[in-house]
Amino acid sequence: MDLRRMAATIILLTAPTAALAQPALTGSRPAADASVAAPRNIKLTFSEKITPASGIALSMGDGMGVSTVTALSDDGKTLTARPTGPLMAGKWTLSWHTVSAGDGKDAAGAYSFTVK
């Protein structure tokens, strides 16, 4: 193998690729650790396009939860969730899961916010 081919092979094997990445949360409303009035909508923005199979779950420490209806933005990077019931005052945990539109890789995470 000549030197040019070897260098090209090394570059291809060591270069980062979007196909290996998972969707990462880049923005949220409400934000992590925020204290807010009960939100009518929750928005999560991700680093790459996700599929409609992605979702959000809302729960409190006592196990009570509120389901959501979700919609995906036209650019495929923002997931909007509308709670189907009221969010009472207290600390809520927002759990999310995504499926990448590019390669089908899953990602998940969670954070808390407080409803005043």
User: Each residue's pLDDT tens digit in the chain (116 positions)?
Assistant: 555 555 445 554 544 444 457 899 999 999 999 999 999 999 999 999 999 999 999 999 998 999 999 999 999 999 999 999 999 999 999 999 999 999 999 999 999 999 99
- Answer whether residue 13 is part of any domain: no
- Answer whether residue 12 is part of any domain: no
- Answer whether residue 92 is part of any domain: yes
Q: State the residue range of the domain holding 99.
A: 21-115
- Answer whether residue 51 is part of any domain: yes
- Answer whether residue 52 is part of any domain: yes
| Domain count for the chain | 1
Find out whether 50 and 77 touch, Cβ atoms under 8 Å.
Answer: yes
Q: What is the CATH number of the domain that holds 102?
A: 2.60.40.1220
Q: E-assigned strands of the chain?
A: 25-29, 35-36, 42-46, 55-60, 65-66, 68-72, 78-83, 90-99, 106-115
Alpha-helical segments (H) within the chain: 3-14
DSSP 38: P
The Cα–Cα gap between 30 and 38 comes to: 10
